[in-house]
């Protein structure tokens, strides 16, 4: 079976949903699938953000699969590549199926159209772009885009890949009745520290955090949809009640530096200032130490089609506090992997108070989180499920 994975970019700048390809592709290859990833060298939308420094237009073999990068041109801001579309037009017949990641992106939209023309079955993964909250952004432009391109792309797809039942339930369909394929994203259980104590000690020493002081971690893109306008006031109220903790704000947003600067300024003027560490973007050893060594991971997003950072915290054994708009909230509740609440300050204060005041319950839920994530968010398990779905599509 030869599978083509198509995505506008896999740069770290664009966050976890793009990076998931680097987990999925090797897992599929491990099961004997021949995988080719085609993408662009886009590394940000601003002129100051240089394209990825990688060879173009020729396969690069890694981890059992191959990846081909194409120049992002002529519309850099929209991650378009004429060369990618030309390559797909000439090589689509060599593959059994295409898995296209993203909607409302010229690369993915035109790729779907080319697949239909070349009679190559394809699956679309919308990355949360069919969420009503997301559709309200640039509403008129998206309505026009849908009428011209995306309705036909959705109607012509063999399936729409949603990463949670909640995402599938609320997503707009624009009148089409394409089959749903609900399958979560995976997380890598690699690079974790030998135990939580080692990771915690590393964090406390690096950031001069006192022993015994609970660590509350936010790790995600610094973006308005992530709920920092709720989280920061909630933490300020917790401090006012006398609860002690240290807050670590990890993440950045090269695509919206003004909002990131606004949050940094807000923290400087907050009562949280002396109780907070702002790390910026983290990766590697520091990222895994934060995920594994924190006492609580918190993400009160206004909407998340999956919440890859939440799954990463869970596999590291850290209990999570999330909003009910993070679409794996049902799984978190049912597995008792953390606490789920509504999108308001009082409720978030209540949940964080429960978590901070009950270390034994935090430990219990952290263990449940790890057990659940290893079972259901393993790339190996997800790859086997996807292969079965691919085979069904090809046979039909």
Q: What is the DSSP letter of 362?
A: H
Same domain, 146 and 235: no
Residue 232 lies in a domain: yes
Spell out, as residue ranges, where the chain has pLDDT lower than 70: 17, 45-48, 75-77
8 A C-beta contact, residue 326 and residue 304: yes
Residue 60 lies in a domain: yes
Count the domains in the chain.
2
In CATH, what number is assigned to the domain containing residue 228?
A: 3.40.50.2000
How far apart are the C-alpha atoms of 71 and 333, rounded to whole Å?
44
pLDDT at position 75, please? 66
How many Cβ atoms from other residues are within 10 Å of residue 164's Cβ?
23
Same domain, 164 and 47: yes
pLDDT at position 275, please? 96
Same domain, 253 and 336: yes
Same domain, 330 and 303: yes
Same domain, 342 and 389: no
Domain span holding position 6: 2-186+378-395
SS3 (DSSP) at 187: strand
Rounded to the nearest 5°, which phi and psi values hold at 55? -65, 145
Residue 191 lies in a domain: no
Pairs from 263-270 (Cβ < 8 Å, separation ≥ 24):
263/222, 263/228, 263/232, 266/232, 267/232, 270/232, 270/236
pLDDT at position 159, please? 97
pLDDT at position 248, please? 98
Which H/E stretch holds residue 139? helix 139-145
pLDDT at position 375, please? 92
Same domain, 135 and 12: yes
How far apart are the C-alpha atoms of 179 and 175, rounded to whole Å?
13
The alpha carbons of the chain give a radius of gyration, in whole angstroms, of 21
Beginning with the edge strand found earlier in the chain, give each strand of the sheet holding 276-280 in spatial order: 276-280, 246-250, 215-219, 296-299, 320-323, 338-341
Residue-wise pLDDT tens digits, 269-309: 999 999 999 999 998 899 999 999 999 999 999 999 888 99
Cα dihedral angle (305, 368, 212, 300), rounded to 10 degrees? 20
Same domain, 279 and 179: no
Residue 41 lies in a domain: yes
8 A C-beta contact, residue 88 and residue 111: yes
Same domain, 207 and 152: no
Same domain, 223 and 182: no
pLDDT at position 76, please? 65
Q: Facing residues of 69 across strands?
A: 39
Same domain, 348 and 238: yes
Same domain, 341 and 382: no
Residue 26 lies in a domain: yes
Same domain, 108 and 251: no
How far apart are the C-alpha atoms of 179 and 246, rounded to whole Å?
46
How far apart are the C-alpha atoms of 49 and 339, rounded to whole Å?
38
């Amino acid at each position: 079976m030869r599978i083509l994975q198509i995505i506008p970019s896999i740069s770290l700048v664009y966050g976890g949903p793009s990076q998931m390809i680097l987990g999925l592709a090797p897992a599929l290859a491990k099961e004997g699938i021949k995988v080719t990833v085609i993408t662009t060298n886009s590394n940000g939308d601003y002129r100051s953000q240089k394209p990825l420094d990688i060879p173009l237009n020729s396969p690069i073999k890694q981890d059992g699969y191959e990846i081909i990068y194409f120049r992002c041109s002529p519309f850099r801001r929209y991650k378009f590549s004429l060369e990618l579309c030309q390559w797909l037009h000439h090589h689509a017949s060599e593959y059994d199926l295409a898995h296209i990641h993203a909607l409302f992106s010229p690369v993915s939209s035109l790729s779907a159209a080319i697949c239909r023309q070349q009679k190559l079955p394809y699956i679309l993964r919308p990355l949360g772009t069919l969420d009503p909250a997301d559709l309200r952004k640039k509403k008129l432009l998206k309505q026009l885009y849908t009428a011209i391109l995306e309705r036909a792309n959705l109607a012509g797809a063999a399936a729409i890949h949603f990463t949670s039942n909640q995402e599938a339930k609320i997503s707009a369909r624009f009148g089409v009745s394409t089959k749903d394929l609900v399958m979560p994203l995976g997380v890598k259980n690699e690079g974790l520290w030998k135990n939580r104590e080692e990771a915690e000690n590393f964090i406390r020493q690096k950031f001069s955090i006192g022993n015994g002081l609970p660590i509350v971690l936010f790790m995600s893109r610094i973006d308005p949809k992530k709920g920092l306008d709720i989280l920061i006031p909630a933490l300020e109220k917790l401090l006012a009640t006398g609860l002690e903790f240290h807050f670590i704000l990890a993440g950045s947003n090269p695509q919206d530096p003004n909002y990131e600067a606004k949050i940094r300024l807000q923290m400087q003027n907050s009562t949280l200032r002396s109780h907070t560490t702002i790390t910026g973007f983290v990766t590697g050893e520091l990222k895994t130490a934060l995920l594994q060594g924190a006492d609580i991971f918190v993400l009160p997003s206004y909407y998340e089609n999956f919440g890859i950072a939440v799954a990463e915290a869970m596999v590291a054994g850290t209990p999570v506090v999330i909003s009910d708009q993070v679409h794996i909230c049902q799984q978190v509740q049912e597995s008792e992997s953390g606490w789920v609440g509504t999108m308001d300050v009082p409720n978030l204060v209540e949940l964080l108070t429960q978590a901070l005041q009950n270390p034994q319950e935090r430990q219990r839920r952290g263990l449940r989180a790890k057990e659940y994530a290893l079972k259901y968010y393993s790339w190996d398990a997800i790859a086997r499920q996807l292969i079965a779905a691919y085979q069904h599509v090809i046979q039909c």
